[in-house]
Amino acid sequence: MQDYEVFLQQLITGLSNGMIIALVALGYTMVYGIIELINFAHGDVFMLGAFLALTLLGALGMEAWPSHWQLAGVAIMLLASAGFCGCLNWSLDRVAYRPLRRASKLSLLVSAIGCSFICTNLGLFWGGMPMEVFAGGVAAAAPKDFPQLIPQFNILGESAIRIVPADVAVLVVTVPLMIALVYLVKRTRLGRAMRAVAQDATAAALMGIPVDRVIGITFFIGGALGGFASVVYALYNNTIGFQMGYRAGMDAFTAAVLGGIGSLPGAVLGGLTIGCVRAMSDQYVETRWTNTIVFGILILILIFRPSGLLGSTRREKV
């Protein structure tokens, strides 16, 4: 391959992974924007969504379905994982976060870390299920292969640059979700309520807005986005594991901070930036230096722009 072809190939890979990171980062930034909580369990909720998708795939025998029905199977996994992750995220808020709403920020932070460990261990337990897709459950901690339900042929034909249907699938799933989220927040009654709670929860309550309900819906939407992202990630990378939530969560959190935590466009920009930086670093430097480069760029940007690329110093962040 020519140098420019290698660059373009890595750019395609970086943008595809970046959109997945951005989808997870949106969940982080929505929750932070409305209650200023870093939900460290969000990455692990994402991980459990991928495990649910693999469970459904094995239970329904989707690998044996005709190719045109496998697309329906992908749709089932997307909807099921989104609903599951949304409900799980809402439950975490209801059980672990809402009782501490008026407590110190440190108490909420410790609660979020505790929820993260619980979800991680639930994933470890889930990985030991006696199913064929989980390798019979004999190695619970080992990474799991996620079958290729999407063909891997090159859409560009004989070109040295590969664009496979999985790249297109990432685009088809993530972009409409991002557009729908922006429309929800900016144009709907619920979105106005979310922005009001983010700006001043007490004033919003005095105006008759059910603050706890709005926060709960925000958690559900953020979790649902993570559920969609988990299936897209599994289909694109074909490997999942109980520790994948840590890596995805760190990338998504970094993307949210880089773009300006609390800013929806900032989360998307941050995700795309990190995806591209990772891809270019893996190609032109070394994989072992990728994390150093990503966080070095984050530190440099925050030194000169503490609010992030698109962040604002105003409290309205959703």
Structure tokens belonging to residue 113: 């870390």
Mean pLDDT of the 62-89 span: 92
- pLDDT tens digits along 132-152: 999 888 888 999 999 988 888
| Residue 208 CB neighbour total at 10 angstroms | 7
Beta bridge partners of 199: none
In the prediction, which pLDDT does 191 show?
92
User: Among 32-41, 222-231, 283-292, 294-303, which range has the highest average pLDDT?
Assistant: 222-231
Give the DSSP H/E element, type plus range, for residue 145.
strand 144-145
In the prediction, which pLDDT does 302 show?
86
Which residue type is seen at 233? Y
Give the C-alpha separation, 8 to 2, whole Å.
10
In the prediction, which pLDDT does 1 show?
65
Give the C-alpha separation, 256 to 277, whole Å.
15
42 has a pLDDT exceeding 90: yes
Buried b (16+ CB within 10 A) or exposed e, 181-198: beeebeeeeebebbbbbb
pLDDT band (50, 70, 90) for residue 312: low
Domains along the chain? 3-128+153-304 (1.10.3470)
> By percentage, how much of the chain surpasses pLDDT 90?
64
Mean pLDDT of the 286-290 span: 90
Give the C-alpha separation, 161 to 155, whole Å.
10
Mean pLDDT of the 69-82 span: 93
Mean pLDDT for all residues in the chain: 90
317 has a pLDDT exceeding 80: no
| Residue 46 contacts residue 223 (beta carbons within 8 Å) | no
Which residue type is seen at 309? L
| Residue 9 contacts residue 209 (beta carbons within 8 Å) | no
Residue scoring higher pLDDT (105 or 56): 56
In the prediction, which pLDDT does 314 show?
53
| Residue 100 contacts residue 108 (beta carbons within 8 Å) | yes
pLDDT band (50, 70, 90) for residue 313: low
Structure tokens belonging to residue 285: 């430097």
In the prediction, which pLDDT does 245 show?
92
- pLDDT tens digits along 4-20: 889 999 999 999 999 99
| Residue 221 contacts residue 30 (beta carbons within 8 Å) | yes
User: Among 30-34, 117-121, 282-286, which range has the highest average pLDDT?
Assistant: 117-121
- pLDDT tens digits along 196-251: 998 899 999 999 999 999 999 999 999 999 999 999 999 999 999 999 999 888 89
Q: What is the pTM of this model?
A: 0.92
Task: Please report, for residues 57, 113, 175, 208, the alpha-carbon distance to residue 37 in angstroms, rounded to integers and kept in the order given.
Answer: 34, 11, 26, 23
| Residue 40 contacts residue 285 (beta carbons within 8 Å) | no
